Amino acid sequence: MTHAMPHHADHTRGIHIHPSILSADFARLAEELARIGSADAVHVDVMDNHFVPNLTLGLPVVQAIRSATDLPLDIHLMIEDADRWAPEYAEAGAESVTFHAEASGAPIRLARELRARGAQAGMALKPATAVEPYLDMLTELDLLLLMTVEPGFGGQPFLEVVLPKIRRAREALDGSGTPVALQVDGGITADTILRAAEAGADVFVAGSAVYGADDPDAAIDGLRRAALG
Ligand code: DX5
Ligand code: ZN
């Protein structure tokens, strides 16, 4: 069964494009948000200079973004001690809050806290973190993020080595019947998105491919079409 999958997998199950504002102009965030009206959500990368070697923004800026857009907020926390800080992002009105499994001491408790605060619960795995230890807790999640670059910076090349993990996660999700979004983040471009879609991803984060373009909304449309093959 596995050999027949790649060419026949249904990669039209849903194509959701979440531009990452990491590649936007941070001095003009409201205007940058207005340039992605066709996005399904805006992806906000929170980095603490500990979990990753880069520092971006935190809760006050997320609150300001909340006031500046009606797009759903997809918060990606690349921070240590997620158990302590993640719930505040749910309270700030984010539609989804994604913490890293590597940074959570109690991921099931944390996922439940996020849901209790009205957000979708997301959990992220770095490229070299196996998904298998987490398969039994998929019912606790609304979103599983498989990083396709080492987290920390925009503009890095897509890591093909993650594709088999995306396929295994898709098989597990389909087998469990649990409606969990399968998100990929890092190196997603018009050239790589189809491979991620065929492997089973249905939510695509793109930073430089959207904000590096002259017309971000046109770039979003180009990604959608490329994902359909
Ligand atoms: C990287 C961030 C990504 C980043 C992706 O750690 O999590 O969201 O913005 O940027 P691109 O699409 O340029 O790889
Ligand atoms: Zn991200």
State in Å: Cα 2 to ligand 1 middle: 30
Q: How far is CA 164 from the centre of its chain?
A: 18
| Model pLDDT, residue 78 | 99
Q: What is the pLDDT of residue 7?
A: 41
Is the Cβ atom of 152 under 6 angstroms away from ligand 1?
yes
The pLDDT of residue 98 is above 80: yes
Query: Residue type for 29, please?
Result: L
The Å distance, Cα 3 to ligand 1 centre, comes to: 31
Does the pLDDT at position 57 exceed 50?
Answer: yes
- Whether 96 is in the pocket of ligand 1, judged by its Cβ within 6 Å, is no
Domain regions of the chain by residue span:
16-227
Residue nearest to atom 4 of ligand 1 (CA): 154
User: From the CB of 200, is ligand 1 less than 6 Å away?
Assistant: no
Measured CA to CA, the distance from residue 123 to residue 134 in angstroms comes to 10
Tens-digit pLDDT profile for residues 165-212: 999 999 999 999 899 999 999 999 999 999 999 999 999 999 999 999
The pLDDT value recorded for residue 5 is: 45
Choose among 142, 191, 146, 139: nearest CA to 168: 146
Model pLDDT, residue 11: 72
For ligand 2, the distance from its centroid to the CA atom of residue 183, given in whole angstroms, is 10
Q: Please indicate whether residue 122, judged by its CB atom, sits closer than 6 Å to ligand 1.
A: no
| Whole-number pLDDT of residue 143 | 98
Q: For residue 52, what are the CA distances in angstroms to 63, 66, 92, 133, 226?
A: 22, 24, 23, 23, 30
Average pLDDT over residues 41-46: 98
Residues with CB under 5 A from ligand 2 (ion): 45, 76, 185
Hey, which residues are catalytic here?
A: 45, 185
- From ligand 2's centre to the CA of 76, what distance in Å? 5
pLDDT tens digits along 132-172: 999 999 999 999 999 999 999 999 999 999 999 999 999 99
CATH superfamily of 16-227: Aldolase class I (3.20.20.70)
